A and B are shown apart, each in its own frame.
Chain A
Amino acid sequence: MSMLWNKYRYLFFRRTTQISLLFLYFGANAWGWTLLMGNLSSSSLLKTVPLSDPYAVLQMIAAGAIIATDLVIGALIITIFYLIVGGRAFCSWVCPINLVTDAAALLRRQIGVDSFAKKQPATRNMRYWVLALSLIISFAMGVAAFEFISPISMLHRGIIFGIGFGWAAVLIIFLFDLLVLKNGWCGHICPLGGFYSLVGKFSLIRVHHTQENCTLCMKCKVVCPEGQVLYMIGKETIPVLSGECTNCARCIEVCDDDALNFSIRKLVKNNKSGE
């Protein structure tokens, strides 16, 4: 039992966080709860603290909207939060699409799609191109471009306000991730993930790899949705510094050798004596 707990504790916390947030938002609409109102685009915490999606605000600025003070404050709060805990913690701990893509990735491993589709033909830098494109289209068309097609918002609004045809977009992502490209949406395309990757570059909370403990079993690499950030496995004792790491902590819990753990980034570099 404690074994099970050790293997899935972070996954359990993660799903609890994701689902409780959804539940709070849902309750605000359905039963008038006031703890967390609105949705991931913009919320109001206890009817006082504004919280806003900084990427949506960025698109609005590109579109030429006049930005209200509440929105600036809300976006700053969220940005500072993710600057500290790791940008893509949003992706793995909050975003509802993560439930869909993780399910697709799990099924992919189970039914063996991974074993015959080894080569991934797309670059993970695509998300930054989509990010740039979204701002260009926002500027050209005068609307927040990604917000109009975002399956994240569609699913999230769908859960809170009633789903409509939003399920079709979600199904497309599920099938795309399952059959076409491994971690296709979150790892390659999603510009919000790209945005938080940039924010996460500077974050303090990091996964740390200890080379002496590693037995090269590679379980972490199998389970990691952003495998490229774990390039140091078995080679060096360093923290994962890429902003693309989602801090999901699956690598930590699948590791049987205590080679991976959460750590706080050392802000002062070269603090070893004599250097």
Chain B
Amino acid sequence: MAILTKSHLKKMNNKMQSDRRKFILRMARGAGIAALGGFVWSAYVDEVTASQLLLRPPGAIKEEDFLKTCIKCGLCVEACPYNTLLLAKPGDHKPLGTPYFIPRDVPCYMCPDIPCVPVCPTGALDEASVTTNGKLDINISEMGLAVIDRETCIAFWGIQCDACYRACPILGHAISVEYNKNERTGKHAYLTPVVHADACTGCGLCEKACVTEKASIFVLPKEVAMGKAGNYYIKGWDKNDEKRLEDATEIKTKTEISKESAIDSLNDTGGLYK
């Protein structure tokens, strides 16, 4: 057995301490790098996923779930016979690798057999959501909703144009034409397009057909294009709409004034005549 002198012990002690320091330093450095990398990475992912105005292929599930589920394989893009669908590239400022389309360039031509949906391996494009009675039905897809800018639509100026109405594949249901008297001339009619949200699929054929320099009818994702009345406002003349009352909830807000009864609050002069 070797005899350990005091100086030996001191040296060992020093070495252990220095090892420990190195270890702690290395751990701290590792944690720092991991945290930094994690932050940069998450910030980047957040940046590329934050896109509200994308139009997805037919049957696409809710955007949040779509981003989780889409594996970015491009099978839907390959299946589309019209080259409607694109995969987001770096520089497009859209969630990388996910499919979308720009209707003003190439709209969705609403193939009856919807070739892009069944090929999806992940279910990000949900076949069930575009199926009625066991048959694929493109007319129930909800890619978006067409919105009309009445300021720039020339039909609202009184110039005759029904390009979007004629281009609509669900003509008469998704877009109809309203007749109104043109008071300016006194002898002409306004023939103005009206979009019906319950029938419009958001295919974008109207946007493609629009004759104005920048389309005056354009497709937006439904959540973006539509408002929501909430359960406070009910069409009392509509039996179906009255059903919404069942979901209605009551919110009571207590304020300083509403604590007492309404009359008391009216009589309360707030110490004005003291």
Contact = CB atoms under 8 A, between A and B. Distances in A.
Interface of A: 28-29, 32, 37-39, 41-44, 50, 52-53, 56-57, 60, 63-68, 70-71, 74, 129-130, 133, 136-137, 140-145, 147-149, 153-154, 157-158, 160-166, 168-169
Contacts of A50: 121
Contacts of A44: 75, 119, 121
B68 A144 contact: yes
B75 A165 contact: no
A224 B65 CA distance: 42
5 shortest A-B CB distances, which residue pairs?
A164-B89, A165-B91, A42-B73, A165-B90, A65-B68
A60 B68 contact: yes
Contacts of A28: 78
Contact of A142 (B67, B74, B97): B67
B196 interface: no
Contacts of A65: 65, 68-69, 122
Interface range for B: 35 or more
Contacts, number: 134
B69 to A, nearest CB: 4
A148 B48 contact: yes
A68 B137 CA distance: 22
Interface string B39-66: 0011011101100000000000000110
Given A133-B34, A147-B72, A157-B72, A166 B45 contact: no
Contact of B90 (A66, A74, A143, A169): A169
A164 B91 contact: yes
Given A38-B74, A52-B121, A66 B69 contact: yes
A43 B73 contact: yes
B75 A38 contact: yes
B97 A157 contact: yes
B121 A42 contact: yes
Contact of A166 (B38, B89, B119): B89
B72 A41 contact: yes
6 contacts: A42-B121, A70-B121, A143-B68, A144-B68, A148-B48, A149-B96
B72 A37 contact: no
A157 B87 contact: yes
A141 B64 CA distance: 10
B71 A147 contact: yes
Contacts of A154: 90, 96-97
B221 interface: no
B198 interface: no
A11 B73 CA distance: 28
Nearest to B35: A133
Interface of B: 30, 34, 37-38, 41-42, 44-46, 48-49, 64-65, 67-69, 71-75, 77-78, 86-87, 89-92, 95-97, 119, 121-123
Contacts of B67: 142-143
Given A66-B69, A158-B89, A145 B75 contact: no
Given A71-B122, A153-B97, A165-B89, A38 B73 contact: yes
A106 to B, nearest CB: 26
Contact of A162 (B65, B73, B89, B119): B89
A147 B44 CA distance: 12
B121 A74 contact: yes
A100 to B, nearest CB: 16
A133 B121 contact: no
A161 B87 contact: yes
Given A50-B121, A149-B44, A153-B97, 15 more contacts: A37-B75, A39-B72, A41-B73, A63-B68, A68-B122, A70-B121, A129-B34, A133-B37, A133-B41, A142-B68, A144-B68, A147-B71, A147-B97, A148-B97, A158-B89
Nearest to A130: B37
